[in-house]
Amino acid sequence: MCKGGGIVKNNGYKIVDFTKFKATVEPPNLLEVQLRSYEDFFQANVSPVKRKNEGLQLVFLETFPIYDLNEDSYLEFVKYWIETPKYTKDECKERGMTYSNPIWATVRLVVRERDQENGSLKVKDIREEDIYLGEFPRMTEEGTFIVNGAERVVVSQLHRSPGVIFSEKPHPSGRYLFSASVIPYQGSWLELYTDMNDVCYFTIDRKKKFPITLLLRALGYETDKDILELFYEKKNIRVSSIDFDSNEEYYLAEDVSSESDDTVFIKAGTLINEQLLRIITELNIERVDVFIVGSDEGDRLIIMSMAKDDTTNKEEALIKLYQALRPGDIPNIQSAEIKFNNLFFNPQFYNLERIGRKKINEKFGMNIDEKQTALTKEDIVEVVRGLIEMVSGKREPDDVDHLGNRRAKTVGELLYNRFQNGMRRLKQVTKERMSIKNVEECMPRDLINTKPLVAAVVEFFGTSQLSQFLDQVNPLAELTHKRRLSALGPGGLSRERAGFEVRDVHYTHYGRVCPIETPEGPNIGLIMSLATYARVNEYGLIETPYRVVKDGVVQNKIEYLSADDEDRYTIAQIDSDVDSKGKLKGPLILARRKSDFPWVSPLEVNYIDISPIQMVSISSSLIPFLEHDDANRALMGSNMQRQAVPLLTPEVPLVSTGMEEKVARDSGVVVVAENPGEVVEVSSEYIKIKRSGTDTEEYLADLVEETDVDFYRLKKFKRTNQDTCYNQVPLVKKGDRVKKGDIIADGPATKNGKLALGQNVLVAFMPWMGYNFEDAIVISERLLKDDVFTSIHIEEFELECRETKLGPEEITRDIPNVSSDAVKNLDKDGIIMVGAPVKPGDILIGKVTPKGETELLAEEKLLKAIFGEKAGEVRDASLKAPPGLEGWVVNVQVFEQKEAVSPKKRAKELLRIKEMEEEVERKRKKLKRSRDKCLENILIGAIPKVDIKDYETGDVIHKKGLKISERDFKEKLLLPIVEGRLSMEANLERKIDRILMVYREKIGELKASFGKQVDAIRKGDELPPGVLKRVKVYVARKRKISVGDKISGRHGNKGVISKILPVEDMPYLEDGTPIDIILDPLGVPSRMNIGQLLETHLGWTAHNLKFVAVSPIFSGATEQDIKGYLKKANLPENGQTVLYDGRTGDRFDEKITVGWMYIMKLNHLADDKIHMRAVGPYSLITQQPLGGKSQMGGQRFGEMEVWALEAYGAAYTLQEMLTVKSDDVIGRSRMYEAIVKGRPVPEPGIPESFNVLVRELRSLCLDIEPEFEGVEEFEEQKI
């Protein structure tokens, strides 16, 4: 908890750190939520026998064994393994492919035969085979998936946790009705609720309702006595003490029977009334066992329910339930019992998951094993007890919006659900095949069809609401998208049904979910962002870290708490006073306890926050002075940072928060040194570093052929999903020494390894001739001339050459009826050259398509035969630059299928492939020898400290304390080690696992490289069927700042540029410095985002004193700090100064707030939105111009615009708008002709929409005959 304000040096920059409360730990890797979940699902680098029963391994174990219909034969799962992708990430993006892993599984077919005499089964044959399951998308190191060439991200889903939820709702009468819902992860919902008559009912999947006692009878509590025993205490009382005047009722707990012959006079569970009391007295019974039921609503719940229940035993209850669940079926007791058991007690059909079982155990103080994921009888009884307690006022209702009752489904779990669905389909198809085919003659591959599995996973990545096109405007947008939580999606909420409560901020969000960052539209509160330090635990619950406080002393131990855990403790704020020994200073400390903020003694405190930024997301943590901004504006600020376009020359903010480097590093856009060393070569495209040390362990030396130079290839002018430019620039120069983890190259929107989304500019808050009224912004021409806000955008254009019925299309420079000037920038193949300038209408790729032959005259045939004219057979289908496109070609990619080759050439290809196969086999054997050598080096001569055992059988292979000889290694240990079957001491096991992992990676790379080379020889590039050639052209556009562009600060202070003034017209300071941007002063008080003013003042001092201020949120510079630095910089303490009018040189009357603010250019550029149309496409039916920029549409002249023209009496303009400018087909062609030939403008005709109306009426059998002059003309139009 050290106080800030010190000056430190960092990378040659002077940094003034105002941090008051230093975080005790760094935030975790910001992509961990994606990467760890995916790794845990596939367990790709874990030996098959050591894999945990989770993720893909669990899917296989749940699916297999698969039996045939008679259960004679079955398929058994042995193991699965994952191969290296054939193509790299960049190759997949370029070719429009999916970056995926081939997955294989070893499956065993066990064929059994039935003994004719005793019917027992004995194994006849076992066949094992490796089956190719398919290719499944692989996550990149940045946490994304590349599907069909586009980067996508799987968003985590926040949904209701399995378990039991108790709730209450008011009735119009004023009473409360209570309910309990048992929510499974998968299976039927069981809901219990009370009514106005104190009867408890239950429903299954919201179908027919029954009294709760019917469910208890179905569970085996058949008699009234059995049911009463569950909920009421048995008491032995004197018969004479029974008082009918009290509010209590007495029910017999035991049968009243004759002592001589056991005749039952009164059954247990019967209500004792005066008549029964007389019988008991006559039998000379002095004491009886009874259940005493009070008048309390909760006490009477079961009694009232029993009165409504007309069943008396288990059979009746089951039959009644079966009839409600399967109305059409004829019930019998066996099928009813099976159906009931499958509903809640069979793990195949009902699953609470570990989290559901954990929640039920915690809620009712039970201790049932977490592996028991189906319900038990005890669970249902406890739920009924809980509901009784709630009705009696002894239990509080649950809060459904509490984060203990909501959990995050991360990418691994979402994939698990998809693989499960796919495997179910696969199992069904396999069972059918096993019943049709003769299993004795089959291999596993003949029975298993993997298409349903691949289809299920591909469908998820392509169409799921949670698989989203990656927001890649800048690194922050990318990182935030990967950390997003959505309450929408399958099994979640819908924005139409979601109420206010579920969208609102909840106290459990503290440190887990950001209370600020959420969209502004209909999704507000449904889409959220993980807080900076938050993580998702094994149960899917979101946790946040705290430092432990023991006896009032802050410890260095850190513990992660879920929302439920946190409710039990008292937690102090990070700004609590702590002395040098870590003791909390009293007497009282402000702390949090659930949703309260009590003052407590230091001894009552259990934990303390670890950082001031703990409660907010990454995006919010980048806003300095966030604590001085209104929450609504902070929300806009955090959202708009994600829309900032990477600039040509970005700058690190003068007033930063200290999170900029963490965001840049974890986003993956910067290049980080993997090893220490010296830079030996640098160019714009790569960096070479000679290592001074290596991380490769000595025992791997034989397997890893190391060079002593690390090679880093940089990404140059790549296009992102949103057309912004992805470009990496080296930060190091030749001769520089680097350490492991140093940032050696900048990416988009980063500067010196720190996030840099915008520019520091000099701003003034003042009106200027009304041009900055209502959030309009006036800027200086300097920002235009010096390219301060210039950005590069890259657009992709693609053209495919296909095989058509009339013949193949062709990409060529020889295009009919096109001038030589139009093709001057095309190369010999008809593709525009890299570096060529592009204007609207320019040909980017020349293409001709065959057109149908027309009958030629005799003389035309002769001419064609003589001159061989080709132009008549094809038409121009070239790709042209769309309107508004101006830029330069930065890259061209050509992919083409291999043409048919001659037998001779084919033989050569086969020979080449055979040579390659032999080479691959040589390399594989060499790798195998190297692997064995590495294993020899660490094992031969070693003396194990624990027994070396076989994982599967538990047999001891080598005893502890005995030296491993070469013979032991080769005969007993090598094969089981390679198969991953041995368990041994942790150090040896770790080294062996590492050797095997490196070996698998090398083999995978070898196979992938071979597969790629074979494909290149056999097929050329992989293209869809019918596509002969695919050409992509990338055009870079330089966008300077212009009027209409949207710019913003970090505090939600957004605006649109209304005027660009010459530098000489801008107001200037006393020293002659002109202002860069004039902001509207009225935009501050009502918006209450005062943070922008504090940033402006501190930015002014930072600029003048040449330092970068680090001011983290809730822990940064105070007003006094800023005043102190303003004084130090000889600036006015109130941040206001005299300005002079640039046009006249006159001084403005009042002093004006001036300073340096960080401004970003947002991805809402006027160039993208401006649009005009002269002649373009028309709608087929209405014949009106289409709408929208993408369709080259016109502007709609709507109802209100018509009123305006009517008001002005502009009759001819109005007539023109409604006819020739819209849908008068004949009139508009006549108008065009008249304008071209310079003739008088003709009379307009009939709009097509009138004809549409006439046709509509005729379709209703109303014959419309228009009567007006010029009927012939009307008929001419052929209605």
Q: Is the separation of the CB atoms in 471 and 641 below 8 Å?
A: no
Q: Residue 5: its pLDDT value, please? A: 42
Strands (E), 29-155: 66-67, 74-82, 100-114, 121-137, 145-147, 150-154
Average pLDDT over residues 429-439: 88
Reported as a pLDDT band with limits 50, 70 and 90, residue 214 is very high
Q: Residue 3: its pLDDT value, please? A: 40
Residue 400 pLDDT > 60, yes or no? yes
Q: Which of 556-570, 718-732, 965-979, 1133-1147 has the lowest average pLDDT?
A: 965-979
Q: Which of 93-97, 402-406, 777-781 has the lowest average pLDDT?
A: 93-97
Q: What is the pLDDT of residues 1036-1070, one digit of tens each?
A: 999 999 999 999 999 999 999 999 999 999 999 99
Average pLDDT over residues 509-535: 95
Q: What is the pLDDT of residues 319-335, one digit of tens each?
A: 999 988 888 888 889 89
**Preceding amide of 1074 cis, omega within 30:** no
Average pLDDT over residues 196-210: 90
Task: Write the DSSP string, 146-202.
Answer: EETTEEEEE-EEEEEPSEEEEEEEE-TTS-EEEEEEEE-SBS--EEEEE-TTS-EEE
| CATH number corresponding to 671-746 | 2.40.50.100
Q: Is the separation of the CB atoms in 245 and 228 below 8 Å?
A: no
Percent of the residues in the chain that have a pLDDT greater than 90, as a whole number: 57
Q: What is the pLDDT of residues 841-897, one digit of tens each?
A: 999 999 999 887 666 677 777 777 776 655 567 889 999 999 889 999 999 999 888
Residue 11 pLDDT > 50, yes or no? no
Q: Is the separation of the CB atoms in 102 and 138 below 8 Å?
A: no
Which pair of tokens denotes residue 421?
């669905």
Closest CA to 998 of 702, 704, 708, 709: 704
Domains 671-746 and 1171-1276 share a fold: no
Residue 923 pLDDT > 70, yes or no? yes
Residue 700 pLDDT > 70, yes or no? no
Burial class for 121, CB neighbours closer than 10 Å (0-12, 13-18, 19+)? middle
Amino acid residing at 304: M
Taken as a whole, the chain contains a residue count of: 1279
Q: What is the pLDDT of residues 1006-1020, one digit of tens each?
A: 877 777 777 776 777
Q: Which of 21-30, 453-462, 553-562, 652-661 has the lowest average pLDDT?
A: 21-30
Average pLDDT over residues 150-157: 96
Q: What is the DSSP letter of 946?
A: S
Which pair of tokens denotes residue 1200?
């209100």
Closest CA to 36 of 407, 410, 403, 353: 410
Q: Residue 1268: its pLDDT value, please? A: 67
Q: Residue 870: its pLDDT value, please? A: 53
Q: Which CATH superfamily is domain 162-403 in?
A: RNA polymerase Rpb2, domain 2 (3.90.1110.10)
Which residue ranges make up each domain of the chain?
A: 32-159+409-492, 162-403, 671-746, 757-790+1054-1101+1111-1155, 791-897+1022-1039, 903-1018, 1171-1276
Q: Is 291 helix (H, G, I), strand (E, B) or coil?
A: strand
Q: Residue 1167: its pLDDT value, please? A: 85
Of 3.90.1640.10, 3.90.1150.10, 3.90.1800.10, 3.30.70.360, the CATH number of 1171-1276 is: 3.90.1800.10
Q: Which of 189-203, 257-271, 595-609 has the lowest average pLDDT?
A: 257-271
Q: Is the separation of the CB atoms in 623 and 636 below 8 Å?
A: no
| Distance (Å, whole) CA 690 – CA 680 | 6
Q: What is the pLDDT of residues 37-71, one digit of tens each?
A: 999 999 988 888 888 889 999 999 999 999 888 88
Reported as a pLDDT band with limits 50, 70 and 90, residue 103 is very high
**b vs e for 986-1014, b when ≥16 Cβ sit within 10 Å of the residue's Cβ?**
eebbebbbbbbebbbebbbebbbebbeeb
Task: Write the DSSP string, 897-932.
Answer: BPPP--HHHHHHHHHHHHHHHHHHHHHHHHHHHHHH
Reported as a pLDDT band with limits 50, 70 and 90, residue 115 is confident
Q: Residue 505: its pLDDT value, please? A: 95
Amino acid residing at 719: R
Domain 791-897+1022-1039 classified CATH 2.40.50.150?
A: yes
Which CATH architecture group holds 757-790+1054-1101+1111-1155? Answer: Beta Barrel (2.40)
Reported as a pLDDT band with limits 50, 70 and 90, residue 8 is very low
Q: Residue 854: its pLDDT value, please? A: 66
Residue 241 pLDDT > 80, yes or no? no
Q: Is 215 helix (H, G, I), strand (E, B) or coil?
A: helix
* Residue 431 CA: distances (Å) to CA of 71, 105, 133, 201, 361: 10, 18, 17, 41, 38
Phi, psi of 1203 (to 5 degrees): -60, -40
Average pLDDT over residues 898-902: 65
Q: Residue 1155: its pLDDT value, please? A: 97
Reported as a pLDDT band with limits 50, 70 and 90, residue 779 is very high
Residue 646 pLDDT > 90, yes or no? yes
Q: Residue 435: its pLDDT value, please? A: 85
Residue 278 pLDDT > 90, yes or no? no
Q: Residue 1136: its pLDDT value, please? A: 95
| Distance (Å, whole) CA 221 – CA 309 | 14
Sequence-separated (6 or more) residues with CB below 8 Å from residue 1034: 717, 719, 794, 795, 796, 797, 889, 890, 891, 892
Average pLDDT over residues 925-930: 81
* Residue 155 CA: distances (Å) to CA of 429, 499, 505, 529, 1024: 31, 22, 20, 10, 29
Q: Is 548 helix (H, G, I), strand (E, B) or coil?
A: strand
Q: Which of 830-839, 997-1006, 1057-1066, 1132-1141 has the lowest average pLDDT?
A: 997-1006
Residue 279 pLDDT > 80, yes or no? no
Residue 1274 pLDDT > 50, yes or no? no
Strands (E), 415-496: 467-469, 484-486
- Which residue has better confidence, 803 or 930? 803
Average pLDDT over residues 550-554: 93
Of 3.90.1100.10, 3.40.50.300, 3.40.50.80, 3.40.190.10, the CATH number of 32-159+409-492 is: 3.90.1100.10
Q: Residue 393: its pLDDT value, please? A: 87
